[in-house]
Structure 1
């Protein structure tokens, strides 16, 4: 956020490169954070997943809403808004190291990976397991275990064989996760982020028929409304569950088709109906997200659950990435199509 805020204006050299560098750093941290924290919800019970999903929905809503309020309503500059927001990630440090109960994580050492597999990992007899257990109790290292140099060589070899076997099983688990969980999540994220990045910037109306003073205000408003829908649906699992994940995914694809056709042929009469469709888009995206991970928590065996939760987050990241490449072409194509029909609003943003 600081790199983007400190980047020069677009008329100066190096502006695009520095802004993209900031975006890349933000994406790396967001992806790594989601992968890590989603897996950690496994240790805090079912409600922690609902709390995590609701928190991510609230973050999107507050972030988009605060940005729209600061820049559109109050009139604060984009740079000043980013500077003021750059302190927010420090709250993650406080929430993890101060607020979050640590006992479930301290109690989870190598036992989560070895004890559950006792009797199944290759080439480890009872004597070796006793040696591993003794080393675990005497050591403080990664995951609470460290194999010292004086550990019997056979034990070191067997531990390595276990980790290799564990990795192979994880790859097999990915295949089991793909069709029931990863594919519908991938589809819904591709559809909704093509809408957000490629279609929404072209959903413009005459200013006199809208609540806005300039065309650049449409997009932040769409984003805030979308995030409101995401927040509502990501907070819904304690009250409402969706077990057929492909239904909302396919409905999201229909949203993409509807809004793309409107961008081309301008048949939705006013912006307020587009607001409703965007809110519905957020509801569908949030429903698939939270219910995908809820279904994994219900249907995947406990010893495979942490990996499954973390691995499935690849689908939403991949969906956003694919949508980004599609949107670069789609936004330009839709804008050119509108201009060919005499609607030049997209040039006035």
Structure 2
């Protein structure tokens, strides 16, 4: 990698009148604009070994095994642009068999050499994965940030619609993703993004708006499962870059809604329409940079039952993802939607919902960008400890919403901590899956576990919001909830 000063001089010298007339190198400008991301990812781009075992992670920087490009043609169903030479000959001999899938899931040590530059796009791939993470998740966050405008009394309904179609995509992904090329999936995702924004913004009735939310859910899930698997085929640095980009998506999504609806005082229709005209185009352009012109074909895996058994064996990591997402989304859709700080008025509830989720996204941004700080992913015990603490925060916020014990603006600090825990489990959980065996299958399974937690949390959120509305004497809950003497008792 070139020094930062040399990179800046090279870019500056090219920005002349002639360059502007002929077109400036987009890669150089993009790398310059995201220089701070490049510094955080640089450590993950160097040659290194990753060793995975049951509770054991080691790295050997002294050894080096080259990654050779595949000699197969794009028509070959097992074509892989990153043919990794395994150090363990026995593991290489059984790599594509169902037996190796189960052995890897049971904790059999596996060493994989990873080196930047093995693929012709790998050197710049982390920057594009960062941008794709931002764009892919920004559409979902914009819908969540607009939930109070779509259905003020049933925020969890919007959350359910925003995750239901995505859950179906991720549940079926391990069984059909290898039949459809990456670039075709991403094109369908971009078209769904356009339709989702237009329906949510211009729909005259609530069912049409919810249909737009559902299309965005489909797009976000299809893009996430596809790009996570594709990032694992490049190197671990791309997974960290993707996670950091999704963290920025939270800030951008809530900032987008605030800018258009609060600062500029535009309607929600204008907010969604501008997104429909800009974000999908950038999404398509960025996705072409990571799929390339050679049309990367997914790797064919085992049978239906072999894939299912392999996915179930990943529970030590996917279980933590499920718990942390259940806790934080029950907070967002049920508890925070019913809190009005410092007074339980409609305006204060809307403001608290916006600012609490915005600060939550700040915490997510910081923790999802922490991948390069850990040479090896933290253990599963660490993931479960963070997920358990998130469940404790859910209970504390629910009690506070009912008793108003801590009903001051300072409670927003706790929202940042919720984001730190959720983002940390996300990035390090997927890092563990990406360096294990068969990451193209393991990554969608991890995404499925997270979405399953979100769906269950949103169902619970409907009843949590209704119960807290009843306790605080607020009408308009989407689910009727009457507990005799509940309001007086609290």
TM-score (normalizing by structure 2) = 0.53
**Which of 368, 371, 374 is the matching residue for 1:234?**
368
Question: Residue 60 in 1 paired to residue 198 in 2?
Answer: no
Question: Residue 266 in 1 paired to residue 404 in 2?
Answer: yes
Report the secondary structure of 1:76's partner residue. coil
**Which of 319, 338, 342 is the matching residue for 1:202?**
338
Question: Residue 276 in 1 paired to residue 413 in 2?
Answer: yes
Task: Assess, with a 3 A threshold, how the Cα gap between structure 1 residues 21 and 101 changes in structure 2: closer, same or farther.
Answer: closer
Task: Assess, with a 3 A threshold, how the Cα gap between structure 1 residues 233 and 48 changes in structure 2: closer, same or farther.
Answer: same
Question: Residue 188 in 1 paired to residue 344 in 2?
Answer: no
Contact residue 215 and residue 345 of structure 1 kept, 8 A:
no
Report the secondary structure of 1:245's partner residue. helix
Deviations 1:14-52 (A, max 9, x none): x22112111111111111111111111111101000011
Q: Equivalent residue for 2:70?
A: none
Question: Residue 251 in 1 paired to residue 389 in 2?
Answer: yes
Question: Residue 3 in 1 paired to residue 199 in 2?
Answer: yes
Higher-helix-fraction structure: 1
Contact residue 201 and residue 272 of structure 2 kept, 8 A:
yes
Deviations 1:196-216 (A, max 9, x none): 111101221246x99x97542
Q: Equivalent residue for 1:154?
A: none
Report the secondary structure of 1:64's partner residue. helix
Let me know the Cα RMSD of the aligned residues.
2.4
Question: Residue 24 in 1 paired to residue 160 in 2?
Answer: no
Higher RCO, 1 vs 2 (CA within 8 Å, ≥6 residues apart): 1
Q: State the structure with more CA Rg.
A: 1
**Which of 285, 290, 295 is the matching residue for 1:100?**
290
Uncovered stretches (5+) of structure 2, i.e. residues with no partner: 1-196, 478-490
Question: Residue 219 in 1 paired to residue 353 in 2?
Answer: yes
Inter-partner Cα distance in structure 2 for 1:252 and 1:260: 13
Inter-partner Cα distance in structure 2 for 1:63 and 1:330: 25
Task: Assess, with a 3 A threshold, how the Cα gap between structure 1 residues 269 and 3 changes in structure 2: closer, same or farther.
Answer: closer
Task: Assess, with a 3 A threshold, how the Cα gap between structure 1 residues 345 and 226 changes in structure 2: closer, same or farther.
Answer: farther
1:318 Cα deviation after fit: 1.1
Query: Number of matched residues?
Result: 276
1:68 Cα deviation after fit: 2.0
Uncovered stretches (5+) of structure 1, i.e. residues with no partner: 9-14, 114-162
Inter-partner Cα distance in structure 2 for 1:284 and 1:67: 25
1:280-295 equivalence runs, <5 A? 280-295=417-432
Contact residue 200 and residue 222 of structure 1 kept, 8 A:
yes
